[in-house]
Amino acid sequence: MYRPQIKVLDCTIRDGGLMNNWQFPKEMVKDLFQGLVEASVDYVELGYRVDKKMFSPTEFGPWRFCGEETLREVAYKCDTKISVMCDVGRTDYDAFLPASESIVSMFRVACYVKEVDKGIHLMKHLKSLGYETTLNLMAVSTNLEPDLDEALDQIADTGVDVVYLVDSFGYFYSEQIHYLAEKYKAKLPGKEIGIHCHNNQSLAFANTIEGIIRNINYVDGSIFGMGRSAGNCTTELLLGFLKNPKFRLQPVLALIDKYFVDMKAKLQWGYEIPYMITGNLNKHPRPGMAFVRERREGSKRSFVDYYNTMTDIDAVD
């Protein structure tokens, strides 16, 4: 449980923003960053950097864009490093300063296996500017193994710092995490491996532990599990489990009390039957999120009807 190489990355604002269009007040984000600094979390991911020509700032909050000036209003350079994610195909290459002029230490590039060449291209651009970089291969539960192998072989020849095993749909069990962690380690000698798990089947924490056992050293969590649909492995569970004496749990608990209990009641991330079904079926959680929203607005549609729709059971009959 205690391995000093393990780095904890909190992605509350980035992944949690998928539940509220990144409409977090700046004062809250400032509090969150300070609390995670006091907790000695290694990285705090404060959102995405996407092209403003593709996404409207009137519809999305500032953490969808993570401009330098905005980040400096809520965070500062210290031992807890700032991370920002960028998506292949949604990023303006001219939107990045050299790392020496930026408050950001790490950019994480998210791409699907079929886009790995584009992900590598963006990662190399960011690496040339002096940033720590990761490649996060999304939704690998949906890929044929030869395609994943080919992508990992391409990545092996690059200078990326960390490659993330991502269970985007909360589909994997520990056996699959074990198998894939060993594959990533074998295919990517000399590179660190990270893990990012969603909680559709209440396995995000357990699967992250399995990754740690398999020598994965970068682990993602979010406060109170806040994240898209079923949410993520929780930061507070990770800090308690890892037994690193530098970590302090109290600042995270204070943030949960102050912000996240009420927010969870309103936004309903975490274990819900529709999210469990999408995880079990290895499907994107978008239909589950729509169903939860319908029920919150008064719909009487049943879980059975939702399940039958998701499995096309009427078409089979």
* Per-residue pLDDT, 175: 98
Please provide the average confidence, as pLDDT, over all residues in the chain: 96
Q: Would you state the CATH architecture of domain 7-267?
A: Alpha-Beta Barrel (3.20)
Residues with Cβ within 8 Å of 246's Cβ and at least 6 positions away in sequence, in order, are 40
Q: pTM for this one?
A: 0.96
The pLDDT > 90 percentage for the chain reads 97
Residues with Cβ within 8 Å of 193's Cβ and at least 6 positions away in sequence, in order, are 162, 163, 164, 165, 181, 184, 185, 211, 215, 216, 217, 218
Angle at the Cα of 306 from the Cα atoms of 304 and 308, rounded to 5 degrees: 70
Distance CA 248, CA 250 (A): 6
Sole residue written with tokens 């864009």: 65
Per-residue model confidence as pLDDT tens digits over 210-237: 999 999 999 999 999 999 999 999 999 9
* Per-residue pLDDT, 313: 60
* Per-residue pLDDT, 317: 37
pLDDT at residue 316 tops 90: no
Three-state secondary structure call for residue 271? coil
pLDDT at residue 315 tops 50: no
Per-residue model confidence as pLDDT tens digits over 120-174: 999 999 999 999 999 999 999 999 999 999 999 999 999 999 999 999 999 999 9
Higher pLDDT, 312 or 199: 199
For the chain, the structural domain boundaries read: 7-267, 273-316
Task: Report the chain's terminal Cα–Cα distance, integer Å.
Answer: 50
* Per-residue pLDDT, 1: 64
Query: If you average pLDDT over residues 23-50, what whole number do you get?
Result: 98
Per-residue model confidence as pLDDT tens digits over 188-198: 999 999 999 99
pLDDT at residue 36 tops 70: yes
The number of angstroms, rounded, from the C-alpha of 317 to the middle of its chain's C-alpha atoms is 38
Instruction: Decide if 280 contacts 200 (C-beta within 8 A).
Output: yes
Instruction: Decide if 188 contacts 152 (C-beta within 8 A).
Output: yes
Distance CA 177, CA 172 (A): 7
The pLDDT > 70 percentage for the chain reads 98
Question: Band of the pLDDT at 2, cuts 50, 70, 90?
Answer: confident
The DSSP annotation for 5-71 comes to: T-EEEE-HHHHHGGGTTT---HHHHHHHHHHHHHTT-SEEEEEE---TTTS-TTTS-GGGT--HHHH
CA distances from 63 to 161, 185, 254, 304 (A): 24, 32, 22, 37
